[in-house]
Structure 1
Amino acid sequence: MNTIAQAAEGRETYLGISDVGYVLFYLLVAIAVTVFAYGVYQRVRRYTQGDDDPFDRVSDLSNRVVSSAKIVLSNEKQFNRDLYGGLMHSFILWGFLTLFIATSIIVVEQYGTEIFLGIVFWEGDFYLAYQFIVDAMGLLFVVGIGMALYRRYWVRNHRLWGRHTSNEDDIFIWTLFGLGLGGFLLEGARIYVTGMPDHEIVSFVGYGIAMVLQAIDLPTSGAALEPATYAAGDYFGANAETLHWAFWWGHSLLALFFIAWIPYAKPFHMLSSFANVITRDEKAGKRLPNVPSDLDATNAESIDDFTWKEILDQDACTKCGRCSSVCPAKASDRPLDPRNVILDLKKYREELDAGGEEKPIIADGGAASAARGTSSDGPSDGSTSVINTETMESCMACMACMDACPVEIEHLQSFTRLNRQMTDQGDVSSSMQDVFQNVMQDGNTFGDSPRDRADWADDLEFDVADAREEEVDYLWYVGDYPSYDERNKQVARSLATILQEADVSFGILFEDEKYDGNDIRRVGEEFLYVELAGHHVETWEDCEFDKIVCTDPHSYNTFKNEYPEVDFEEFADDPMMPFDYTDEWNADGEIDVLHWTQAVEELVTEGRLDLDGTELDYTVTYHDPCHLGRYNDEYEAPRELIRATGCELDEMPRNRANSFCCGGGGGGLWMDFEEEPKPSEERIREALEDTDAGAGVEKFVVACPMCMTMYEDGRKTGGYEDDIEVVDVAELVVEAIGAEDEANLEIAAD
């Protein structure tokens, strides 16, 4: 080996690059940065063309940025349910950011501090620390990319493959791998041609590569170490300088290509995802945007109806498939794949922006049908739509997709927009149209007489107060299913007995109680929802109470999070709206809205119910309702009550935020699907086979009337009638306090 050793603790940035090469490099830098900037400008301009978002997305921006940086840098969402994926993404992100910062340091010194201040800090101890950190984090970056390649191509993780998988995914991952590996090869060649100075041992990866070159005794030209000293002939000779030159240009060109490519393909998620996290709505899903009272307003007639945030959601999608992997509709073989809906909209938008043909956003015969190989008559003009109506009917509004998404995509915002368009077009299923008709005519989803709403209480041994006529502590909203469904009536009687035993005053609205509107809103019937909300808040204004207590988590969510968002004044003058209420209701949260488990858990804590945790000895498992758990983060109150009865609680593998929907949300309760297995059947199977107690689980405990209905059905259709009993938490509590007779529990057996 014949080289001139480099003793100083530093290195030459443009080692072996001639003046012509130097100029060419910066010409290419200027082109790459210009292409990048123009691409980002085009993206931002497209967002400004989107509709206004109903929520303030940039308020308190500084705190938003700080909290978002914590979420992104910690990779907390990537670790959710996927340790391997969390580590993989952390290695890639932390490594990439370190390498980016390292490159930025060089730029700042060479074109900032050195020129204007005469300060050079890229030498000595700083250089040594810099080189060690860059090598360590660069190695982590390459390892992370290797993990990604293994998962994508060797394991072929099912989440990563679908109809939107394309060449850009391959180019993206292999370009990152090339950048990481190429950087180390370049470093190793540089260390070798500079005589392998002792201080470069801190660059342990590059030094290792240099040792390999030394072991094979790769010849060098012995040229002096100045940027322009490589002879032109040396570029093509078989020596280390030639190798270094090739690595330098290969690494540089790949990096410049990547920079220029970022705004035009998958790498843009590095920017759009962070922006998406910053502009997230903390209440997304649990509250939905209100529809303007203007009847001429459209929801999804065209892509321009989508808000700028919904367009940003589309660009933020990384195709990771986490939303798809937790979607109960997809698991049940319904035609919904949350990722595909978002990406179908994005693909159509990009095709339209490129001069493509406009077509209906949602109708029969959308992209899902084509992918599934099904036939459809399609819209009347003979063209296909972007999204198939059957796809959106399949959504259970369980929010599992949003909870799993690492970049805070708000699927339900776009899904609700599509559902509203379906309703406007009259494309909802006939069974849902029947539900709408029942609610409009009778105020309930069953189509039963409003006068019969409180008949469930007739068999109680005490009278239930009328909250319209006397002051009560709890205004109890019973709900449709506990009022009209025979199985859920028993739950209502159990809860009434519990409140009576706790000696609290409570009352109901009798025939003035109507359906809460939560699920028909998620199906797209917004105006009927507003009518119901106006009726209830106007009725509540004439009542005296301290708290509203709900039997159903769906009611709890809509009263707590959505009624306060309604602009009643905007609708009050509409002759179709049966209310005159013009104020904001509970905008400041002065009225407590509770799920009944929260209220009763407070009573138990206060010692107002005789529960000491020894009364019952059942082995049970508990199902977290979506609207109580994922929507409102209430996981402990039902569990505390179960434990207070003395039952042994055996958790299912999918619990709390990872709970699997019963299938009843988003209108699923009123629609029939050809699915195998049903979500309710799969959940009961999980209780009996995947819990620690397995077949020893005696009772499947719920805290939602819809869940009760779906699981009683799943127990029958799945053949589990003799294996497990479905009960409500209230039924366990009333049994534990010895008040079965007062609640008339034997009616459940009839």
Structure 2
Amino acid sequence: MRLPLETTTRTREVYEPLSSSVEVYLFYFLAAIAVGVLAFGLYRRLQGYTDGPDDEFTRLDNLGGRIRSAARIAFSNEKQFNRDIYAGVMHSFIIWGFLTLFIATSILALDLYFFKKALGASFWKGTFYVSYQFAVDALGLLFVIGIGMAMYRRYWVRNERLFSRHSSLEDHMFVWILFLLGIGGFLLEGIRILVNDYPSFEIVSFVGWAIALSFDGIFSLLGVSETTTAAAQLHWGLWWSHALLSLFFIAWIPYAKGMHMFSSFANVVARDEKAGTRLPNVPSDLDATNAESMDDFSWKDRLDQDACTKCGRCSSVCPANNSGRPLDPKNVILDLKEYREDLADGGEEVDIIADGGTSVIDAETMESCMACMACMDACPVEIEHLKSFTKMNRQLVDQGDVDTNIQDVFQNVMQNGNTFGDSPRDRGAWADDLGFDITDAREEEVEYLWYVGDFPSYDERNKKVARSLAKLLEESGVSFGILFDDEKYDGNDIRRIGEEFLFIELAGHHVETWEDCEFEKLICTDPHSYNTFKNEYPEVDFEEFADDPMMPFEYEEQWNGDGDIEVLHWTQAVEELVEDGALDLDGTELDYTVTYHDPCHLGRFNDEYEAPRELIRATGAELHEMPRNRADSYCCGGGGGGLWLDNEQEEKPSEERIREALEDTEAGDAVEKFVVACPMCMTMYEDGRKTGDYEDDIEIVDVAELLVEAVETNEGEITAGVDDASETPASAD
């Protein structure tokens, strides 16, 4: 029987079960092969990125800060905890356990190959060794538990978002190999403790100690007389099986799902903090292509594809996917990846995107995107879906493969400067029913230049919102004005549909017009306009297009690059006025039970959640939150051109959202008013209220309409001419 190590020599032999130096050198040889295969695979991956064109945005500036920020995101697992606590705990156990085991192996290698071999000393003993063993057992146990949680969700619960046409054998292999590595390590530790006759200091290896006792009991039940001999033979077999599986996993990483351990972290490091809220500009060169081939996808686009872990979070929150439209954000990213890898293997080149025929992505898939950014917000590895989606939409526009309804919108904007196709002279006609005149900001200096927007200017239902907001601004005593017929469509959604050059025309017209006005702040009725003016107009390189005879502007500067002009959504501006006491409210005027819908472009795009809520509370209305609120808000379905399309779907996103308001909020069907702060949301929800048969159950109102009613309750009619918000609205159709 082998005698146990003395307690005073608290350490162990690394290659204990190997019978000769030949076996040790064989292990070294196999390890060298595994590392070589790993390095070659990583090199090929890196080469695939460097072969791609430069990205449109700076990605590696302040690299140290980026790495620190990425490490905080990765190690805290904050993105995994978002919306899914189970997944957050599961992934935390896996990553912390895996990193602990990796660090433990690195420490062992450092001691064995540097301190012992080079310096003739060892630190892997005594108190350090005992602490090391305890930490490895504790975190290793969490690792196995985490993998077990993943297997339970995948195979027992069978979470549908984990499965799609891109699910493959490698997904199963990845989770099973990790599980076997974790279990195998503990089995190896347990048999080692048994072989060494339970050294007293090894009791800190509490999992291994328990397994050693289990092995002992099994041997007894089987009637094995030479326990130590049997255990030693099993020790040898377990050591080699664990070593070979570990080396296979190392070599396999760059060629399968394990690559996400590198690519996901790199993707978080290279993320754009303003991704989605701004989009890459296009060159003025008309010969430039957008997504004609994979050569048009930057190295960051390719890294996005490799970073995808197939977790399906993007798919589960996508309103297009959930309402039956042919868009699954995960599959789009993975389709592009699969096509790129197929080309690298000599596959046939096809169109990236087209309307029918053979292509990687079908046009209808991209037309389904609402540009709500829910996929990006949910993605734990910071994939920038909207950037690649817009690239493909631009290609559709270049090819002419655009839905006829969208083509009509483009034509309306080009000819009349608005998406309705109505006369520009009628743009300010919504104000005719007011009991006061609105200042022409082109002629007089104002504090607030108010960009009214298309829907408040031309849509009958939203005109009522515009008049309510005008009354609030007039009552507050601030000076404000509008551009009347010099105001055009802001360009936000047609840009996301892919019409970049028309967007630049509109941006050039507006900044040139604003330059001739005197104002302090630019306020917007529509969150889409707010996002575009705040985040995208300052990014446009007007100088590159100013000399183009097709562009109706000569402006060559960067507009508002230093942020001197404050761009606000109207709720932000009015909240400041309410706080300053400019409106007569004491918070007790209204006793409605309401819920509030966060517009995507105000909330997820720009992190403004509180201003509309503070205004609702200021009226005295009782606010009840829907389960999906703030960053988790569910899109109305109108963004990204959705408002202009006739989509066939099982249930409109607007109908699902109203159902949520009436059934899933704490107040339930006691909710009287569904409050919005976006003209597109107003249009979509008025339509959803009809098509979903909710007309008798709930009323759709804007925050401005609530505020006007509250002020009127205190003061009577503050100004004549504001429409009753409860009148039958114009159809969204």
The TM-score normalised by the length of structure 1 is 0.95
Give the alignment of 1:538-557 within 5 angstroms.
538-557=512-531
Contact (CA 8 Å) 2:471, 2:719: kept in 1 or not? no
Q: 2:115 aligns with which of 91, 110, 113?
A: 113
Counterpart in 1 of 2:587? 613
Counterpart in 1 of 2:183? 181
After superposition, the C-alpha distances for 1:466-497 in whole angstroms (9 at most, x for unaligned) are: 00000000000000000000000000000000
After superposition, the C-alpha distances for 1:407-452 in whole angstroms (9 at most, x for unaligned) are: 0000000000010000000011000000000000000000000000
Q: Distance in 2 between matches of 1:519 and 1:457?
A: 25
Contact (CA 8 Å) 1:303, 1:361: kept in 2 or not? yes
The runs of 5 or more residues in structure 2 that have no matched partner are 729-733
Counterpart in 2 of 1:678? 652
SS at the partner of 1:700? Answer: strand
SS at the partner of 1:507? Answer: strand
Give the alignment of 1:710-729 within 5 angstroms.
710-729=684-703
1:363 aligns with 2:354: yes
CA RMSD, Structure 1 to Structure 2 (Å): 1.1
Q: 2:65 aligns with which of 53, 63, 66?
A: 63
Give the alignment of 1:99-248 within 5 angstroms.
99-217=101-219, 239-248=230-239
Contact (CA 8 Å) 1:284, 1:410: kept in 2 or not? yes
Identity rate of aligned residues, in percent? 72
Q: Distance in 2 between matches of 1:392 and 1:653?
A: 28
Q: 2:296 aligns with which of 286, 290, 305?
A: 305
Contact (CA 8 Å) 1:341, 1:387: kept in 2 or not? yes
- Whichever residue aligns with residue 3 of structure 1, its letter is R
Q: Distance in 2 between matches of 1:182 and 1:485?
A: 67
Give the alignment of 1:219-618 within 5 angstroms.
239-365=230-356, 378=357, 384-618=358-592
Pick which of 688-697 and 510-519 moved more.
688-697
Contact (CA 8 Å) 2:699, 2:726: kept in 1 or not? no
The size of the alignment, in residue pairs, is 718
Moved over 6 A (4+): 220-223
Cα deviation for residue 50 of structure 1 reads 1.0
Cα deviation for residue 545 of structure 1 reads 0.2
Cα deviation for residue 364 of structure 1 reads 2.9
Contact (CA 8 Å) 1:3, 1:220: kept in 2 or not? no
Cα deviation for residue 220 of structure 1 reads 8.3
Q: Distance in 2 between matches of 1:412 and 1:124?
A: 55
Query: Residues 220 and 421 of structure 1: is their aligned pair in 2 closer, same or farther, counting only changes over 3 Å?
Result: farther
Contact (CA 8 Å) 1:300, 1:417: kept in 2 or not? yes
Counterpart in 1 of 2:642? 668
SS at the partner of 1:320? Answer: coil
Q: Distance in 2 between matches of 1:166 and 1:222?
A: 43
Q: Distance in 1 between matches of 2:345 and 2:191?
A: 45
SS at the partner of 2:520? Answer: strand
SS at the partner of 2:320? Answer: helix
Contact (CA 8 Å) 2:162, 2:312: kept in 1 or not? yes
Counterpart in 1 of 2:75? 73
Contact (CA 8 Å) 1:497, 1:742: kept in 2 or not? no
Cα deviation for residue 588 of structure 1 reads 1.3
Q: Distance in 1 between matches of 2:135 and 2:507?
A: 59
Q: Distance in 1 between matches of 2:721 and 2:345?
A: 66
Q: Distance in 1 between matches of 2:355 and 2:547?
A: 36
Contact (CA 8 Å) 2:524, 2:569: kept in 1 or not? yes
Q: Distance in 1 between matches of 2:587 and 2:608?
A: 21
After superposition, the C-alpha distances for 1:106-158 in whole angstroms (9 at most, x for unaligned) are: 11111112223333110000000000000000000000000000000011001
Contact (CA 8 Å) 1:220, 1:240: kept in 2 or not? no
Q: 1:689 aligns with which of 645, 663, 667?
A: 663
Contact (CA 8 Å) 1:3, 1:221: kept in 2 or not? no
Cα deviation for residue 401 of structure 1 reads 0.1
Contact (CA 8 Å) 1:497, 1:743: kept in 2 or not? no
Q: Distance in 2 between matches of 1:117 and 1:628?
A: 62
SS at the partner of 1:720? Answer: coil
Counterpart in 1 of 2:731? none
Q: Distance in 2 between matches of 1:16 and 1:317?
A: 40
After superposition, the C-alpha distances for 1:502-538 in whole angstroms (9 at most, x for unaligned) are: 0000000000000000000000000000000000000
- Whichever residue aligns with residue 692 of structure 2, its letter is G
Contact (CA 8 Å) 2:636, 2:657: kept in 1 or not? yes
Query: Residues 68 and 262 of structure 1: is their aligned pair in 2 closer, same or farther, counting only changes over 3 Å?
Result: same
After superposition, the C-alpha distances for 1:665-710 in whole angstroms (9 at most, x for unaligned) are: 0000100101121000000111111111111100000000000000
SS at the partner of 1:216? Answer: helix
Cα deviation for residue 80 of structure 1 reads 0.3
Contact (CA 8 Å) 1:494, 1:743: kept in 2 or not? no
Cα deviation for residue 741 of structure 1 reads 5.1
Q: Distance in 2 between matches of 1:119 and 1:70?
A: 35
Contact (CA 8 Å) 1:98, 1:134: kept in 2 or not? yes
Cα deviation for residue 203 of structure 1 reads 0.3
SS at the partner of 1:548? Answer: strand
The TM-score normalised by the length of structure 2 is 0.97
